[in-house]
Amino acid sequence: MAKGLPPRARPGPQGPPARASLGPSVLLQLLVLLLVLPGALSVGLYSSEDPLVLLAADTVERSVFNSSSAWVVEFYASWCGHCIRFAPTWKELAGDIQDWRPAVMLGVLDCAEKFNQKICSDFGITGYPTLKFFKAFSKKPDDGIRLFHHGDDIRSLRESIITTMERHEEVWPPTCPPLEPISAAEFHGFFRAYNVTYLALIFEKEDSFLGREVTLDMLQFENLAVRRVLKSNEELVRHFNVTTFPSGFLLVNNGSCSIIPVHMDSRPLYTDFLRRLPGVMKGNTFRPTMLPSAEPQTTTAPWRVADRKKLYMADLESAVLYTLRVEAARFSHLDEERLSALKQYVTVLVKYFPGRLVVMNYLHNLDLWLRPRTNVSQNNWEEALRNKAELPYARLPENPLWVGCQGSKPELRGFPCSLWTLFHLLTVQEALLSPNHASPSEVLPTMRRYVQYFFGCRECAEHFEGMAAESMHKVKNKDGAVLWLWSRHNRVNARLAGTASDDPKFPKIQWPPQDLCSSCQIIINGRRMWDEREILRFFKAYFSRHNIYLDFIKREHPRMGRDVEKKDPEAEGKLKGGGGRDENHRRGEEEFEEDKKGTEKPEQGEVLKKKNGLERLGLIELHKPSIIKMSTKTKEQEEEIVDLDIFSEQHYKSKALKVAGQASRWHRRNKRDTGLVLMEDEGQQPFDDDATWERLKDKGWRAQQLIGSMGEEIEKESDGFIVRKNQWFRILGVGFSQLDISLCIVLYFLSSMCLLGMYTFFRMRMRYRKGRSGFPVA
């Protein structure tokens, strides 16, 4: 076996044999390198069981830089759909070329992790997935070469790695065998120069990768060298009388020569034959030993039960947070076009995002900061995004929180889901708030520029740009913008349904389903169609500010001039008019009892202070105290005083839904109706009463307006549900307790009876007196 060789210039015709042993210093360096690599059981889309190296912010530089191995690193985001689909291919490639180690090392780095985002930015990662090749002895992130490949199959990836590796121009990696073709002069003196038993020659065409792949496959096997001979080498071709390419010959150091019995371009067959030769054995086996990373591992968050009929402010704010602090912060410098797109995006958020007060203040300040800027560096942008103690009324959450967009696995749904939700919300808010509905939308082109310049999943961005270039210019008004985004989102769902990025617990379907909007789908001539008029009505109700809830969100409010944060696990306030309304009294009895066991009851003074602080921020509306003094036992059983709106909704909900469902079924359509679109999904689901109830509420109707004590009839017109008869249960002002309501009704009834009795008494007395003969008549 040949002795270890020091680092040298790229070998020429008289270079070293196909495989050289590794010196003790090199082995020690590799062993130390492999021992320091992170070893979390699962990081993003990969685990320690995969035959590759899991890198992190604290290990990537000392692993890749000054290494005697070449490195190929995949920078990815665990939420990226293309990354999810590409992960099995990358794992398969790692298993396919694991015998190429230590010449080539494969690694992965999840840029979606918060502690990895800065290092990904330092490496110039602006889209996912990004494959970078680092030559041996690389010194800095800029030494990384973008690995371009013709496809996502492992063959094209192998060939791209080999082609890039051959571009080592200064120092050839000491752990890598020579890949250049053997010359006639080197062939004739090969066994005199190198102490090996076998020499395998693979004759192939110039564009073939077979010889180089087999050479790397046999890297870890001793007593054998593999070299390739090109078809253009006429001397060796005549010497061995080769007429078919590829062809293989096995030479032994005793002078014998035989044909390798493989008659096709098959790398596995060549490799298997050579590994079975007598005396050929695997030498140094490189199996990375993984140790826990210094970074804290991500723990699985408790499951948050979400209602699909609701929008959650946590998802919307998380989308805003991620777009600004992660997506826009990846670039070392925001050039003119990208900065213009960012300004436009923030301006649209300020105009149409119905966020909490502290978030809207934050966005307003950021908009003012951006407007005069013509040049923004990464450091400037990070400083502008920082929550500042001197501005306690303007804050953005530090970490994303997914509720309605929570996936069954951490890498599923999340940011892409919340971004779609945010875009739908902005188009609907623009249609609802803009005074001129006929004017073109400004939200759609803003979204297009954001996706073009900032969205990390580049394959997804290219698909969206293709849809935008195809038909976005045909959108003439704001209602059209709502429908355009809806139809394109369904097209994306149809394309991705059943793929690796599709969450099996939340499959990608044609939206909205019938259980959310029973009137959005109709059947004409046996074909299921979309009714665009109903779609538009549903979207304006579903994505209205009245359907945004503050569940699971951390309430932030200033107190005594400082920013105080209190986590409220019972927060279920419903956003109205930019503020929220606490609806804890609507929680189920079981959930309330569970929460009450784990939470001590605060003092009365603290409760009043908390309520006053939240009211000043517009987060809740204070409930009025009952006019009847309640016992202590009753107070412990009640969560809060129920206002009349909620009381009447609960009391008359079932009856209202029944009448509304009948009205929906009575509504007739004919073939001449406009706004009908053929559905891609032919599935049908039954009518959902809860969905209809939510739709009625979003139109501004309460239960007491829909159903009266006499069973008022309801008719459906083109603009929604209206009441035909009088409404009896409308009370202006604040809410009262149920006991207050009952007493008011009783007192009202008694006073009415009293007045009626008095009226009857005086009426009869007047008739009696008129009937007396001596009573004067006017």
**Which residues are known catalytic residues?**
80, 83
- The pairing of strands 247-252 and 198-204 is antiparallel
β-pairing, 171-172 with 145-146? unpaired
Under 8 Å CB-to-CB from 533, ≥6 apart: which residues?
A: 674, 675
Place of tokens 């740009």: 465
Secondary structure of 458-489 in the HEC alphabet?
A: HHHHHHHHHHHHHHHHHCCCHHHHHHHHHHHH
What is the C-alpha separation between 15 and 2, in angstroms, rounded? Answer: 13
For 567, counting Cβ atoms within 10 Å of its Cβ (0-12 exposed, 13-18 middle, 19+ buried), the class is exposed
Tokens describing residue 764: 């009869």
Residue with tokens 């007739």: 668
Encode 304-326 in three state secondary structure: CCCCCCCEEHHHHHHHHHHHHHH
Cα 294 to Cα 37, 80, 307, 473, 564: the distances in Å are 10, 25, 38, 51, 31
Nearest Cα residue to 453 out of 348, 371, 367, 334? 334
Peptide bond into 512 cis (omega under 30): yes
Which two three-digit tokens encode residue 214? 């087999």
* Lookup: tokens for 544: 């209205």
Return all residues near 27 (Cβ < 8 A) that are at least 6 apart.
Answer: 284
Is-contact 322 113, C-beta < 8 A?
no
b/e for 78-106, b at 16 or more Cβ within 10 A? Answer: bbbbbbbbbbeebbebbebbbbbbbbbbb
Q: Please give the structure tokens belonging to residue 677.
A: 């679109």
**DSSP code for 65:** T
Query: Whole-angstrom Cα distance, residue 607 to residue 613?
Result: 10
Give the separation between CA 194 and CA 177, rounded to whole angstroms. Answer: 13
Cα 309 from Cα 299, distance rounded (Å):
28
Q: How far apart are the first and last CA of the chain?
A: 142
d(CA 422, CA 315): 8
Instruction: Give the sign of the dihedral formed by CA 767, CA 770, CA 774, CA 776.
Output: positive
At 148, list the tokens.
């371009």
Beta bridge pairs of residue 72 = 106, 133
**Residue from 666, 621, 609 nearest 646 by CA:** 621
Q: Which of 256, 293, 346 shows the shortest CA–CA distance to 39?
A: 293
E strand or H helix at 597: helix 589-598
